[in-house]
Structures are given as C-alpha cells and as structure tokens.
Amino acid sequence: MIVLMHAGASESEVQAVSDLIADRGLKPLQLPGGDHTAIGIASAISPDERESLADVLRSMAGVSNVVHVSRPYKLASREFHRASTFVSVKDIVIGGRDLVVMAGPCAIESHEQLMAAATAVKASGARVLRGGAFKPRTSPYSFQGLQRDGLRIMRDVGMQTGLATVTEVIDPHDVDTVAEHVDMLQIGARNMQNYALLVAAGRSSKPILLKRGPSATIDEFLFAAEYILHEGNDQIVLCERGVLPLDRTYTRNTLDVAAVPVLKEISHLPVIVDPSHATGHARYVQAAALAAIAAGADGLIVEVHPEPRRALSDGQQSLTPEGFSELMQAAARVGGAVGRTADW
C-alpha cells in the first residue's frame, strides 16, 4: 500500500501518517519526491486490515490518495500463486493443454432425454455431462427441475456412459447431497454472491464450476472464488457466461471475451466459457465458442438437447446433437491453431 500526500502536506501531516502506520505494527517508509511525499508500507498487511486501514489513511489531513500495490484477493490472484492451478474432475484435468468440453441439456427432464444427450455429446468428444436438477428460474411458474429425481438420473447416466458429471447447487444445505451424486458442483451466475453457498462449496471436496454473475466485475468474480479458496478448496474453474447486454434485441447477454485473457493473467485458476447463456440463440453459439477458444479459454460448457424444440428450459439456445458435432469439429481446428490439444 502506498499513501500519496498532497503537494502542500506539512511535515507534521506526513509524520502523523507514518505514526499511524507504525501504531498498527507496520513499517512506514517515507519516499520524498519533488513536490509530493509518498509513504510506503514495507510489511505485509493482513487482508482483513487492508480496507479499514486504507479508509482511515484516506481520511487523514494531507493525504491525497491511497493505492493498493497488490490485489486484495490473495488466494485467487497469481501474484501469490504463480503456477497455474489444474482442476481434476475424475480423471479429466482442466487448465492444462487439453481443451475440455462440458455439454448436455439445460435441465434434466427424464432418463431418456439425458441419456440421449449424453450419448450424443460423448460421441462428439465432450468429457463432462452437464444438466440442471435444481433450476434457478426467473419465474416461479417455470420448470424448476426434477430436483432429487434429477440427481439420481444424472448419477445413473454418468455411470452408464462413463462421462464425468456437473450440476448446479442452489442451496447451501444441499451441497452434500448434490456432491454425493455428481463429480463437479456448479454455482450459477445468480448465486455468484451467495456467500453461504460459496462457503459451503469451499468446504466440499468436489471441484467447483463458478459462473460469473451477469453484472459482476472481474474483481467481484475473483472475490467470489476467494470465498471458496478461503475454506480450503482450490479446485475451482471460473466460467464467463456473458454479462448484462446493452440491449437484448439480438443476444441474451454479452460475451465478455476479453475477460478470458484478463482472468488467465491475474488469476491462476482455469477459465472456461459458456457460449449458450452468453448468446441465448443456438445459431450464435458456435461463433462465440470459437472466439472463446481463440482467446485462451481452457474449455467450454455448451447446452445440447436431443430435441431443442421440446426442451423445458433454454431450448432456443440449445444445440442439436448435429449442431454440437459441427461445433466440436470447428473447435478442434481453432484449438489446434492456438496450441491446444483437442483430439476428439
């Protein structure tokens, strides 16, 4: 942290700042410049003290600005964890050279529907089966998911096909039950700042797929990851799924494709992209998916339904098995062009 003093700050004001820093058990370092004096803090500040100390310093006479030198999310940031984190979902590693694709329906509707989706996405090269059992819907009248029956279907289809599985958990009290049925827990965009859920996920031994909230900044996204890391779970995959659009005439959300290289630079966690929720229309999903891979994403999560027109949720953005197969072939070409392994 560096405290910048106003040009006209008096010696006693500079001294008062140094004294306050020293009183907190930290080491002040005066850095006289031409017109301005800056005071650095040459010792580590604990994360819980950081903001309150900055607030006090900002309120002191003669202080012009207080700037943080390091990022406030210590565990999610690359500053303190240089090496990239690899996330293991069963025998699948996310964050290495291999692109990993997760695919399946928005919601689990029946054993037959999930099995048809699973067989198709596996044949095209997906390694993780997605499907919601608990659906967070905007309207309480929309299909809420098969819930516990859906979890059982997911577990059965995962076992029968050999695919790893991911499903969303929306209630902190359900984390253990959901974890007994699937290989990875999804925290949805609407729940990115559900802190009780993040803490419960952090205490789970399952890897977590954390989706970015539609209006969350990159810093807020990484603070959400920090909650999970803080509880001891470092197996987190970040997922960019589109942020609030300027207008919804053409797309459901706006894919923040630049968030991919930004997150890869400032965090050590793997990053995947959801082109389905980002665009909201099946016909744009492939273009968004390819952009994501070109931008450095470690994988994708894509909605695929055996019969999108009959889907109980998100049918308009779900690919048919044929559309998904086409996407996968194009993704392998783009992946190869940017140095990724995509040999499905």
Residues 47, 48, 51, 54, CA torsion sign:
negative
Nearest-approach distance from CB 56 to ligand PEP, in angstroms: 38
How many other C-beta atoms lie within 10 A of the C-beta of residue 58? 12
Residue 202 touches which of Mn ion, ligand PEP, none (Cβ within 5-8 Å per kind): none
Residue closest to ligand PEP (Cβ): 188
Q: How large is the angle between the packed helices 11-23 and 47-58, nearest 10 degrees?
A: 160
Q: How far is the CB of 236 from ligand PEP (least distance, A)?
A: 15
**Smallest Cα–Cα separation from 235: which of 48, 78, 90?**
90
Of 198 and 332, which CB lies nearer to ligand PEP in the complex structure?
198
Closer by beta carbon to ligand PEP, 188 or else 308: 188
Nearest to 200 by CA among 231, 239, 222: 231
Q: Where are the beta strands (DSSP E) in the chain?
A: 2-5, 28-32, 37-41, 63-67, 87-89, 92-94, 100-104, 128-130, 164-168, 184-187, 208-211, 236-240, 271-273, 299-303
Q: How far is the CB of 313 from Mn ion (least distance, A)?
A: 6
Residues near ligand PEP, by CB under 6 A: 106, 132, 188-190, 211, 241, 274, 277
Output the smallest distance, CB 29 to ligand PEP, in A. Answer: 45
CB of 305 to Mn ion, least distance (A): 10
What is the CA angle 94-105-332, rounded to 5? Answer: 45
- The CA distance from 44 to 223, in Å, is 19
- Choose the contact partner of 122 out of Mn ion, ligand PEP, none; CB within 5 to 8 A by kind: none
For ligand PEP, the closer CB: 235 or 317: 317
Site residues for Mn ion per CB under 5 A = 106, 314
* Residue nearer to Mn ion on the CB measure, 27 or 310: 310
Contacted by 241, from Mn ion, ligand PEP, none: CB < 5 to 8 Å by type: ligand PEP
Q: Which residues contact 112 (CB under 8 A, 6 or more apart)?
A: none
Which listed option, Mn ion, ligand PEP, none, makes contact with residue 211 (CB within 5 to 8 Å by class)? ligand PEP
What are the phi and psi torsion angles at 267 (to 5°)? Answer: -125, 160
Q: Which residues contact 335 (CB under 8 A, 6 or more apart)?
A: 99, 293, 341, 342
Residue 332 interacts, among ligand PEP, Mn ion, none and using kind-specific CB cut-offs from 5 to 8 Å, with none
78/190 with CB nearer ligand PEP: 190
188: partner contacted, choices ligand PEP, Mn ion, none (Cβ within 5-8 A by kind): ligand PEP
Q: Which helix (H) or strand (E) holds 333?
A: helix 321-337
User: How far apart are CB 186 and ligand PEP at their closest, in Å?
Assistant: 6
Query: Between residues 41 and 208, which has the closer beta carbon with respect to ligand PEP?
Result: 208
Three-state DSSP state, 37: strand
Residue 127 or 277: the one with the smaller Cβ distance to ligand PEP is 277
Q: Name the residue nearer to Mn ion (CB basis): 174 or 314.
A: 314
189 binds, among ligand PEP, Mn ion, none (CB under 5 to 8 A by kind): ligand PEP
CA distances from 141 to 136, 138, 144, 312, 316 (A): 11, 9, 8, 12, 19
Length of the chain: 344
109 binds, among Mn ion, ligand PEP, none (CB under 5 to 8 A by kind): none
Give the number of C-alpha atoms closer than 13 A to the C-alpha of residue 55, restricted to the C-beta side: 5
H helices of 203-274, in order, are 218-230, 259-266
Q: Give the nearest distance from C-beta 211 to ligand PEP in angstroms.
A: 4
Q: Whole-number minimum distance, CB 130 to ligand PEP, in Å?
A: 7
